[in-house]
Amino acid sequence: MVSQRIGYIRVSSLDQNPERQLDSITLDKVFTDKTSTKDTKRPQLQAVLNHVRAGDTLFVHSMDRLARNVVDMLRLVREMNERGVSVQFVKENMSFIAGNDDPRSMLMFTMLSAFTQFERSLIKERQREGIALAKAKGVYKGRKPALNSEKLAKPREQAAAGANKAGEGVWDKPRNPLSIHPIRRAGAGAWPGGS
């Protein structure tokens, strides 16, 4: 089996451009997650882990794109190295070659992972402080509500017609089972049989 050069890209939102992350590297296959998450339960990351084979090299733009904390970072790199997969972090110019247990590389990697986690914690702390300050000034608006009167119109009409139970024609497409509760809250008083 021929070894592959695999790319893993993660952007935190749909608005961010993933193209810049590994644009200068020739890759056989690229996996892209468009999600902001602190854990490793990302669909394309799991697909990468299932796809890579011994002899492959995984390219990641930077350490914080692979994992947000030291424990996950070390676990993922070790897991791939144990399977014979090398990992290359482009921004940090660090390679973890399968079968090469260089203690200096692991020390540097652990320290950089810790700094990555620390930086993320500082960003979250500044974000919380900014929100608290904006709330104190009365200018904090928060995120836009997921439901508005326009989105509630059809479920309200259908509920008024007697389809007030989950799954009785209220939804045009498959729904998240948790989404009925925000609709009931948003439509309190106007939802027949709802609370």
- Residues marked active site are found at 12
DSSP string for 60-96: ES-HHHH-SSHHHHHHHHHHHHHTT-EEEETTTTEEE
d(CA 159, CA 155): 6
Q: Please list the alpha-helical segments (H only) found in 138-189.
A: 149-160, 180-186
Residues 6 or more apart whose Cβ sits within 8 Å of residue 23: none
The residue among 126, 117, 109 whose CA lies nearest residue 64 is 117
